[in-house]
A and B are shown apart, each in its own frame.
Chain A
């Protein structure tokens, strides 16, 4: 399980990345994260929906209702162009951290 702090920090990039792959509704997003992380990262609805709503107020995502065959309608979310830009920024930051950590953990001693 991820620490609380890291979960919180990873919320935005994960959400934006998932929606970058295609439109989705909340429940599907949770299942997808679970699947992709082999159950190591699990979000609750109480985290997911407020996050989506926050991103919506920032105009990074947009939502719409879609009728469903299996029951009541579902609310779908998709990335806006502004959201796509925000994702690019997030990506760069995570890759920076990632690159740094790789170097630090690599075979070369960091301090000569």
Chain B
């Protein structure tokens, strides 16, 4: 009996072992066969005949296979594009990993130099990037920061700018909102200059950063509120919002809301809110008192005065409003408000965008010491330089080692590698090195963070897990590095002709030599530049600290004058007896009271002119209020006339000027100035003495015109000249007397030389950071040099052997190997000099008193770099020179 299934199975077997028929194909053919059989049996054919006819129709095995074979390779290739390609790619990748790891293991030195150099570069970049991001983040937490502007006040005389000031007049905010539809809101802030004493119960603290603020301050800015209602917190007189730090300090865990604090002698505030004052803002407040208090307590002029510039004024513009259009309307507005003719020629308001204040604003009366865009950019540049030096190392070492890998490439090409595959392989190797470096860089950055924070004077945290930008930056630097550094060597290495290489005719060791030279020159030019820059920064710092200030600030103890006194008359009575009491101690030489001390900007200014001059000629005058003992305590040089003395009873109508003030007022010489009458503010005073200019501020700032006005009981500071002998006892005595005379007041004191020195802190930090990263840059560059020199030494092993055998001395050979590199370093120095000269000259120009850039700096920087380079290179050179020539010649 015929069994169709058996027959089909038998038919199938003859096809199954042929690979041109895939299981799919067979299934399809079998189904075809079945269909044919079914069709024939349906027409009355017996199963056996039907099957045989169907076989004929389908075609026997031989003819079918021929046809299938024709498409077989196509089918195979078609399938490859889907699965097999993937499989082979993975296999290839595994091969790349294997080869790359093998290469790393075989070339430990090369890998170490590259990974370490890249890691140091990456770590430095990451740290500096964190710093840059922090500096750029100032005030960006306010949602509407892009439409908030601070009104800056510029004062001109005769078309010449006299000053630029961060504060404006009280009337500016309200009237601008009234007149200009594009102004959505305004907020004023009035700094309680010099701080003061805040008391709660029987505890009292000396506080800084206290402001009176409009209620809109809290709604315009988005300082996070921890308690209280931002809409109403400052609407009433005698209310206060305090910072989170202040809340913790005064109340611990207790609820601050509704608590009462006293400020100064007679102000009292109820706490209505607690806000966070973040570090990254151009404002740092501890206490915000309601602005309404000022108006209620001292009068309407706090609301509508014109010309009194002590008020930070912020404007929030409506969305889409054009600040330039608003600025264009201001001259007319100024003329109208001031009621003086052509007032806009003297008064100018400038709208400062809020986010730009921190880095781009260095005005008088800033609320806080701002950052400096130049140093931020400088540091960013340095980070980039270090990274580039590290990338250059990779390119140099990879192309230098190309010769050693030429055979590998030749064999790979012969076996069928495409050029693309080889490029892929080398880029992969670069990628692997960069991965290792990135890992190490994270560790390094984390470990070096505390050091970095001291260097830049910040308290940064690596925003690792929290900040996507950090990872993005790392990934970006990593990607760019791997590609940039990997691409060139990959192209060079993959371009070798296999026939030449394998025949051993490949002697092209000089390939890429010129590029290597250029890169080394680039690296060392950067190093020399950084080194010279560091030296110049330090020289300028040393210069500023060694200059004669024109006064003697050594051994001067400064005490902050009492903030809490019953009344002015009580203070006036107490002060002289306090001074008398202090002078009884043998360690106390002088005691003086003044409204300012050296090291501080003089906050108090008045308009001034020679009597008889046109009021148009008013110029700004900085006012120091001093008592009789001030000049004796500080030792100013008297150029003409006399100082203040109790013998002259009419001195309240006298004034002493410094040289600059004499010049500014047009009084010719110190001698001719004597007896002249000048108008300062509302007072008419006669000049009784002229003193030499002294450095009121650090040497970054030029001498200002100062009028010393007599005030027997000035507030703010007591300066006590003490003798160095037995200081602790003297200090204890002074504190005891202070407590006795001014109870309820904290004893806050410091030594003036340290206080003065703090003005150089930013520059010193800049110098330290500069120096630190300069050293890193040189270190990374030397790593590369070390690798290159060791490579050259290996390359020339035979030559060295022959030279030695023929009588070359160790010195000769070491010199031979070193001199090429040293020449490059010299060229680099020559290139670096003009760049540094121009760059640093500009930096120095930010100082009023500066050094010149002297040639010896460059000689020193070049010599130092040369020395370091020599030490790096000579290790390899000497090692090569000392090697036994027999060994060298047997080599191969």
Contacts and interface: CB of A to CB of B under 8 A. Distances in A.
Contacts of A47: 59, 67
A27 B71 contact: no
Given A54-B71, A57-B77, A45 B30 contact: no
B74 A57 contact: yes
A26 B58 CA distance: 11
Contacts of A25: 31
For the complex of A and B, 7 pairs with smallest distance between CB atoms: A46-B59, A46-B64, A27-B35, A50-B67, A57-B78, A45-B58, A57-B74
B11 to A, nearest CB: 12
B418 interface: no
Interface stretch (A71-79, A84-92, A95-103, A104-112): A71-79
Given A27-B36, A49-B28, A71-B31, A44 B57 contact: yes
A25 B31 CA distance: 10
B34 interface: yes
B593 to A, nearest CB: 95
A45 B67 CA distance: 10
B75 A26 contact: no
29 contacts: A26-B28, A27-B32, A27-B36, A44-B58, A44-B59, A44-B63, A45-B29, A45-B33, A45-B58, A46-B59, A46-B67, A49-B29, A50-B70, A53-B71, A53-B74, A53-B75, A54-B70, A54-B71, A56-B78, A57-B71, A57-B74, A57-B77, A57-B78, A70-B38, A71-B34, A73-B31, A74-B31, A75-B28, A75-B31
Interface string A52-70: 0110110000000000001
B71 A50 contact: yes
B31 A45 contact: no
Nearest to A55: B71
A25 B28 CA distance: 9
A49 B25 contact: yes
Contacts of B35: 27
A19 B36 CA distance: 20
Contacts of A45: 29, 32-33, 57-59, 64
Contacts of B471: none
A57 B75 contact: yes
A13 B800 CA distance: 77
Interface in B515-542: none
A26 B75 CA distance: 18
Contacts of B66: 46
B477 to A, nearest CB: 43
B27 interface: yes
Given A26-B28, A72-B27, A46 B74 contact: no
Contacts of B57: 44-45
B63 A54 contact: no
Given A45-B58, A49-B25, A57-B74, A27 B68 contact: no
Nearest to A70: B38
If over half of B's interface residues share one DSSP class (helix, strand or loop), that class is named, otherwise mixed; here it is: helix
Contacts of A26: 28, 32
B24 interface: yes
A70 B75 CA distance: 29
A35 to B, nearest CB: 12
Interface string B743-763: 000000000000000000000
A27 B29 contact: no
Interface residues of B, number: 28
Given A44-B57, A45-B58, A54-B71, A72 B78 contact: no
Given A46-B67, A57-B75, A72 B34 contact: yes
B829 to A, nearest CB: 64
A64 to B, nearest CB: 11
A50 to B, nearest CB: 4
Nearest to B56: A44
B188 to A, nearest CB: 70
A53 B58 CA distance: 16
A50 B58 CA distance: 12
A50 B324 CA distance: 76
A73 B27 CA distance: 9
Nearest to B67: A50
Interface in A15-43: 25-27, 31
Contacts of B38: 70-71
Interface string B7-30: 000000000000000001101111
Contacts of B59: 44-47
Contacts of B34: 71-72
Interface in B44-75: 57-59, 63-64, 66-68, 70-71, 74-75
Contacts of A56: 78
Contacts of A72: 27, 30-31, 34
Contacts of B24: 75
A72 B29 CA distance: 11
Contacts of B36: 27
Q: Which of B35, B66, B74 has the most CB of A within 10 A?
A: B35
Given A44-B58, A57-B77, 7 more contacts: A46-B59, A46-B67, A49-B25, A49-B68, A50-B70, A54-B70, A57-B74
Contacts of A75: 24, 27-28, 31
Contacts of B64: 44-46
B714 to A, nearest CB: 93
B716 to A, nearest CB: 87
Nearest to B73: A57
A56 B22 CA distance: 15
Contacts of A44: 57-59, 63-64
Nearest to A27: B35
Interface in B725-755: none
B708 to A, nearest CB: 93
B51 to A, nearest CB: 14
Contacts of B70: 50, 54
B681 to A, nearest CB: 89
A46 B58 contact: yes
Q: Which of A44, A45, A73, A75 has the most CB of B within 10 A?
A: A45
Contacts of B78: 56-57
A44 B63 CA distance: 10
A74 B38 CA distance: 15
B22 to A, nearest CB: 9
Nearest to A59: B78
Interface string B798-841: 00000000000000000000000000000000000000000000
